[in-house]
Chains A and B, each alone.
Chain A
Amino acid sequence: MTDTLDLPTKRQEEWRWSDMAALEAAAQSPAGEAPDADGWFIDGLDGPRLVFVDGEYQAGRSDAGPVTLEQLSADTDHPLGRRAAGAGWVLRVGEGGAKTCIQIVHLGSGGANHVPARIELAADATASIVETYAGTGWANRLTQIDLARGARLMRSVRLLQSGGFVSLRDEAEIGEAASLVSIVLGAGDMGSRIDGNLRLTGDGAFAEMGGALLTRDSQSQEAAVVVHHAKPEGSSRQIWRAVAADTSTASLAARVEVARDAQHTDGEQSLRGLLLKRSATVNLKPELEIFADDVKCAHGATVGELDKRALFYLESRGVAPARAQALLTRAFVADALDRIGEEAVREAFADNADRWLESAL
Chain B
Amino acid sequence: MATKNAEALAAANKKYEWGFTSDVEQELAPKGLNEDTVRYISAKKGEPEWMLDWRLKAFAMWQEMVEPDWAKLDIPMVDYQNAYYYAEPKKKPSLKSLDELDPEIKRTYEKLGIPIEEQKVLAGVEGARKVAVDAVFDSVSVATTFRKELEEAGVIFLSISEAIKKHPDLVKKWLGKVVPTRDNFFACLNAAVFSDGTFVYVPEGVRCPMELSTYFRINAENTGQFERTLIVADKGAYVSYLEGCTAPMRDENQLHAAVVELVALDDAEIKYSTVQNWYPGDENGKGGIYNFVTKRALCQGRNSKVSWTQVETGSAITWKYPSCVLNGENSVGEFYSVAVTNGRQQADTGTKMIHNGKNSRSTIISKGISAGRSDNTYRGLVRVAPTAENVRNFTQCDSLLLGDTCGAHTVPYIEVKNPSAQIEHEATTSKISDDQLFYATSRGLDEEAAVALIVNGFAKEVLQQLPMEFAVEAQKLLGISLEGSVG
Choose from B402, B419, B428 the contact partner of A278 (Cβ within 8 Å). B419
Is the beta-carbon distance between B418 and A275 smaller than 8 angstroms? yes
Distance in angstroms between the alpha carbons of A13 and B379 in the assembled complex: 12
Is the beta-carbon distance between A278 and B408 smaller than 8 angstroms? no
Distance in angstroms between the alpha carbons of A289 and B429 in the assembled complex: 10
Is the beta-carbon distance between B419 and A285 smaller than 8 angstroms? no
Is the beta-carbon distance between A302 and B420 smaller than 8 angstroms? no
Is the beta-carbon distance between B423 and A304 smaller than 8 angstroms? yes
B428 (CB) vs chain A CBs: closest residue: A298
Cβ–Cβ < 8 Å partners of A47 in chain B: none
Within 8 A of A (CB), among B348-407: 386, 399, 401-407
Is the beta-carbon distance between A285 and B412 smaller than 8 angstroms? yes
Number of interface residues of A (CB under 8 A): 34
Distance in angstroms between the alpha carbons of A356 and B134 in the assembled complex: 63
Choose from B70, B420, B425 the contact partner of A301 (Cβ within 8 Å). B425
- Interface code B15-43, partner A: CB below 8 Å = 1, 0 otherwise? 00000000000000000000000000000
Is the beta-carbon distance between A297 and B429 smaller than 8 angstroms? yes
B70 (CB) vs chain A CBs: closest residue: A13
Is the beta-carbon distance between B409 and A280 smaller than 8 angstroms? no
Distance in angstroms between the alpha carbons of A349 and B404 in the assembled complex: 43
Is the beta-carbon distance between A293 and B431 smaller than 8 angstroms? yes
B413 near A: Cβ within 8 Å?
yes
A74 near B: Cβ within 8 Å?
no
A269 (CB) vs chain B CBs: closest residue: B427
Choose from B411, B422, B423 the contact partner of A287 (Cβ within 8 Å). B411
B65 to A: closest C-beta gap in Å: 13
Is the beta-carbon distance between A289 and B407 smaller than 8 angstroms? yes
B417 near A: Cβ within 8 Å?
yes
Is the beta-carbon distance between B386 and A273 smaller than 8 angstroms? no
Is the beta-carbon distance between B423 and A301 smaller than 8 angstroms? yes
Cβ–Cβ < 8 Å partners of B426 in chain A: 300
Report if A293-B401 is in contact (Cβ < 8 Å); known contacts: A278-B418, A300-B426: yes
Cβ–Cβ < 8 Å partners of B417 in chain A: 275, 278-281
A83 to B: closest C-beta gap in Å: 25
Is the beta-carbon distance between A283 and B414 smaller than 8 angstroms? yes
Choose from B408, B410, B423 the contact partner of A299 (Cβ within 8 Å). B410
Report if A287-B412 is in contact (Cβ < 8 Å); known contacts: A298-B428, A304-B419: yes
Is the beta-carbon distance between B429 and A303 smaller than 8 angstroms? no
Distance in angstroms between the alpha carbons of A294 and B406 in the assembled complex: 12
Is the beta-carbon distance between A281 and B408 smaller than 8 angstroms? no
Distance in angstroms between the alpha carbons of A133 and B409 in the assembled complex: 36
A226 to B: closest C-beta gap in Å: 13
Cβ–Cβ < 8 Å partners of B386 in chain A: 278-279
Report if A280-B419 is in contact (Cβ < 8 Å); known contacts: A13-B70, A288-B429, A293-B402: yes
B110 near A: Cβ within 8 Å?
no
Is the beta-carbon distance between A275 and B431 smaller than 8 angstroms? no
Choose from A275, A284, A291 the contact partner of B419 (Cβ within 8 Å). A275
B416 near A: Cβ within 8 Å?
yes
Cβ–Cβ < 8 Å partners of B419 in chain A: 275-278, 280, 304-305
B377 (CB) vs chain A CBs: closest residue: A289
Is the beta-carbon distance between B408 and A288 smaller than 8 angstroms? yes
B283 near A: Cβ within 8 Å?
no
A355 near B: Cβ within 8 Å?
no
Distance in angstroms between the alpha carbons of A294 and B409 in the assembled complex: 15
A305 to B: closest C-beta gap in Å: 4
Distance in angstroms between the alpha carbons of A38 and B212 in the assembled complex: 75
Report if A275-B416 is in contact (Cβ < 8 Å); known contacts: A260-B404, A290-B399, A302-B425: yes
Is the beta-carbon distance between B414 and A288 smaller than 8 angstroms? no
Cβ–Cβ < 8 Å partners of B422 in chain A: 302, 304
Distance in angstroms between the alpha carbons of A238 and B240 in the assembled complex: 43
A253 (CB) vs chain B CBs: closest residue: B413
Is the beta-carbon distance between B428 and A284 smaller than 8 angstroms? no
Cβ–Cβ < 8 Å partners of A282 in chain B: 414-416
Cβ–Cβ < 8 Å partners of B427 in chain A: 286, 288, 298-299
A17 (CB) vs chain B CBs: closest residue: B415
Cβ–Cβ < 8 Å partners of A287 in chain B: 409-412
A292 near B: Cβ within 8 Å?
yes
Report if A284-B404 is in contact (Cβ < 8 Å); known contacts: A278-B419, A301-B423, A304-B423: no
B421 near A: Cβ within 8 Å?
yes
Is the beta-carbon distance between A303 and B414 smaller than 8 angstroms? yes
B469 near A: Cβ within 8 Å?
no
Is the beta-carbon distance between A291 and B415 smaller than 8 angstroms? no
Cβ–Cβ < 8 Å partners of B401 in chain A: 290, 292-293
B466 to A: closest C-beta gap in Å: 27
Beyond A284-B413, A288-B410, 6 additional pairs, beta carbon < 8 A? A260-B405, A277-B419, A278-B417, A281-B415, A284-B416, A295-B429
* 10 pairs from A and B in contact (CB 8 Å cutoff): A278-B419, A282-B414, A285-B413, A289-B410, A293-B406, A298-B428, A303-B416, A304-B420, A304-B423, A305-B419
Query: Using a CB–CB distance below 8 Å, which chain B residues touch chain A?
Result: 70, 386, 399, 401-429, 431
Pick the 7 closest A-B CB pairs, nearest first: A275-B419, A305-B419, A293-B401, A284-B414, A301-B425, A288-B410, A293-B431
